Chain A
Amino acid sequence: MNITRFIARRIAFGSGKSFSGFILKIAAVAVGLSMCVMIVTNALVSGFQEEVSRKLFGFMGHIQISSFDGNRSFEDLSPINIKQDFYPSLDTVTGISRIQVYARKPGIVTTDTDFEGIVLKGIDHNFDWSFFEQYLVDGRALELGGEKKANEVLISRTTANRLGLKVGDKMTIRFLQKPPRARRPEIVGIYNTGLEEYDEVYALYDIRNIRKLNDWEEDEVGGFEVFLDDVRDLDQMSEDVYYRYVPHDLLSRNLKEINPNVFEWLALQDINEWVILVLLTMIAIINMITALLILILDRTNMIGILKALGANNWQVRKIFLYNAAIIIGLGLLLGNALGLGLCWLQQTFEFIRLPEDSYYISVAPIKLNWITIVLLNLATMGVCLLALMIPSILVTRIKPITAIRFR
C-alpha cells in the first residue's frame, strides 16, 4: 500500500477548517488562472505570428529569384530571361507549390490635387490570385489572359483613399525616366491586406506594360516569386533553391533575408510570451508555497503521529507534495477548461480586435498548439512541485513528541 497516496488523497482539502480550505481553493484558482492566461497568451501570440507571416508570404512569396543587382528599392533594373531551367518546373519539387514572374517599377500617381509615389508590380496570366482575392474589397482581379496588354490596375484601399480614387476611375501614373512617360489604366479592383507597409506601396499591373515601359524584350521579367507548401521549410528550401536549382548568375533570397525587420518584430513577440509565462508561473508557485505551508501547519499533529508510528521525513514530505499535486492538478484542469474556452470564444465571436494599421490584422487570431499546451501543463506541475520541495522541508522541523505532549 502506498502510504503517500493513501493519506494524501484523504486529506487533500485541508482539515476542514474554513480558512485553510479557503487558502487552498485560492491556490488552486491561482494555478488555474495562470494556466488559463498561459494558454490564451500562447494561442494569441502564435496565432498572431502565423497570421502575419502568412500574409507577408502570401503577398511576396517565400523566395525571390532575381538578377544580382536587380532587386533594389522596389525597382527591378536588370531583367532576366523567363526561359530558365527552373521555370516553371520548380513547382514540381516537393515542398514548392508555385513559381510566378514579376517585374516592379516605381511611378507617381497624380490627380488634380494630389500625387503619390507607388510601385507597380507587373504580373502575368499565370499569377495566382487566391491570396489577393481574399483581400479584394471592391471590383475584381486583373484580367491578363488577353492577346493585348491589359490597361487595368488593382490598387490598395490606402492608395485609393489617399488619392480619392474608386473602381472604374482612370489613374494617371507618371514614370520618371528619359524621356518621361505616363499611363492611364482603369482601376478595376481595390484590395486591402492590412499589411500597411506593402499596401501603401504596391499596385498590380500587367507585366507587359512594364516591359514596354522599360524597353525590355517579350521574354524578360524582373524576377520570380517562389511559394512553399510549409513555411517551416523556409531555411532548408531557400538553400535548396539557391544551390540546386538557380544558376550562378542569379540570386535567390527568402523573405526573411529581404525583409528581416518584420520577422524580427514577429520573433520579439516570443519574448513577451516568455515574460508572461515566467511571471504567471511565479505567481502560481508563490500561491502553492502558501498552500503547502498551510497544509503542513494545519497538520502538525498528524505529522507528529505519523513520525511516531515510524514514517520518515521523506515519506511525510511526499504526502504533502502529493497533496499539492492534487491541488495543482485541479487548478490545471480549471485553467485548461477556462483557457480553451476563452480561445474558443475568441475564435467564434472575435471579440478581441487589434488596430490593423499597427498590427497588420484586425482580429486577434487564435492558434492552439496542443503539444505546447501539454508541455505547459507538465512544466507548471513540474516546476511547482520542484519549487515546493524547499518549503516541504518544514515537515522535518516537526517533532513527534511535540504533537504527543501538547495535543
Chain B
Amino acid sequence: MIQATNIKKSYGELAVLKGVDVNINKGEIVSIVGASGAGKSTLLHILGTLDRSDSGDLQIADTLINALNDKQLSAFRNKHIGFVFQFHHLLPEFTAIENVCIPAYINGTNEKEAQTRAKELLTFLGLKDRMTHKPNQLSGGEQQRVAVARALINQPDVVLADEPSGNLDSDTSQELHELFFELRKQYEQTFVIVTHNKELAEMSDRQLVMKDGLIV
C-alpha cells in the first residue's frame, strides 16, 4: 500500500528525518510512537503528501508521488488519503454531515450520492442524531468521529491519524480506538496512527518507534 524508502527532510540546519523506510500493507493498523519532536508528524505529513520530502521515494497505491505536480497531488490526496488530526479541523460554519461531504464535493461527487455515504458513515460511527449539528455543538469525541467520517468519505486507501485521541479523555479515547478496529473489520480500512497512547499502540498490528529522525 505505502512504500517509502530513504525519506529525508530538514528544516534549515535541523535534519528531522534522516532516511526513513516505511512499508504499510493493505488492511493494516500501524502505529508510530516516539518522543515529542522525534519527527512523527513530519513523517506522517510526507506520507500524506501534505509536504514533500527532500529526498527519497514514496509510492502509494502504485502511484509514484514524486512524479505528480501540485494539481495531480491534490486530486491524489483527495481520492486516496484520509486525515484525522489532533484537533478536529472541521469547518465551523458547516454541519457535521456537510463537513463529511466536503471531500466528496471536492472530488465532484453529486450531492445525493455524497450524502448517502455520509449518513451511512455517521450512522456507523454512532452520530445518527448529530448530523445537522455544527462542530461547536458537538463534544470532543463526537468532533473526532465526524473527522473520521470525513476522512473516510472518499473511500481512501489509507487513513493517516496524528494523535487523534490526544485531546480526549481516556474513555472517549478508548471508544475512538475501537472504532478504528471496527472500520478495519467492516471496510478493510488501512490506518497509520501517530499516538502517545500505550493501549492503542499495543492494540495495533505493528508499532514503528521513531528516534532521532529514524525508525528503530
Chain A interface (Cβ < 8 Å from any Cβ of B): 1-3, 6-7, 10-11, 301-302, 305-315, 399-401, 403-405, 407
Contacts and interface: CB of A to CB of B under 8 A. Distances in A.
A309 B150 contact: yes
Chain A binding surface SS class: helix
A95 to B, nearest CB: 57
B105 A3 contact: yes
Interface in B90-117: 91, 93-94, 98, 101-111, 114
Give the interface centre of A310, A312, A400 by most chain B CB atoms within 10 Å. A310
B78 interface: yes
Contacts of B70: 312-313
9 contacts: A1-B108, A3-B106, A7-B102, A305-B89, A306-B106, A308-B50, A310-B81, A310-B106, A407-B87
Interface residues of B, number: 36
B182 interface: no
Given A6-B105, A308-B50, 6 more contacts: A1-B101, A305-B91, A306-B102, A310-B78, A311-B106, A403-B89
B78 A309 contact: yes
A10 B93 contact: yes
A6 B97 CA distance: 13
A2 B79 CA distance: 17
B77 interface: yes
A311 B78 contact: yes
B75 A312 contact: yes
Contact of B75 (A7, A11, A310): A310
A305 B77 CA distance: 12
Contacts, number: 74
A403 B83 CA distance: 14
B143 to A, nearest CB: 13
A301 B89 CA distance: 8
Interface string B65-91: 000001100111111010101010101
Contacts of A405: 41
Interface string B122-140: 0000000000000000000
B211 interface: no
B212 interface: no
A403 B98 CA distance: 20
Q: Is chain B's interface secondary structure helix, strand, loop, or mixed overall?
A: helix
Query: Can you list the 9 inter-chain pairs with the closest CB atoms, starting with the nearest?
Result: A310-B78, A312-B74, A1-B105, A3-B105, A1-B111, A310-B77, A309-B103, A311-B106, A10-B93
A304 to B, nearest CB: 8
Contact of B85 (A314, A315, A404): A404
Contacts of A311: 74, 78, 106
Nearest to B153: A309
A308 B83 contact: yes
Interface in B40-57: 41, 45, 48, 50-51
A315 B106 contact: yes
Contacts of A403: 89
Nearest to A311: B106
Given A307-B74, A308-B77, A404-B85, A11 B93 contact: yes
A405 B162 CA distance: 11
A401 B51 contact: yes
Contacts of B105: 1-3, 6
A169 B93 CA distance: 84
Contacts of A315: 74, 106
A196 to B, nearest CB: 64
Interface in B183-205: none
Most chain A beta-carbon neighbours within 10 Å: one of B76, B103, B109: B103
A310 B71 contact: no
Nearest to A403: B89
A314 B102 CA distance: 16
A1 B110 contact: yes
Nearest to A407: B87
Nearest to B114: A1
Contacts of A404: 45, 50, 85, 89
A400 B50 contact: yes
Contacts of B101: 1
Contacts of B85: 404
Contacts of B74: 307, 310-313, 315
B109 A312 contact: no
B91 to A, nearest CB: 6
B17 to A, nearest CB: 14
B214 to A, nearest CB: 21
Contacts of B78: 309-311
A1 B109 contact: yes
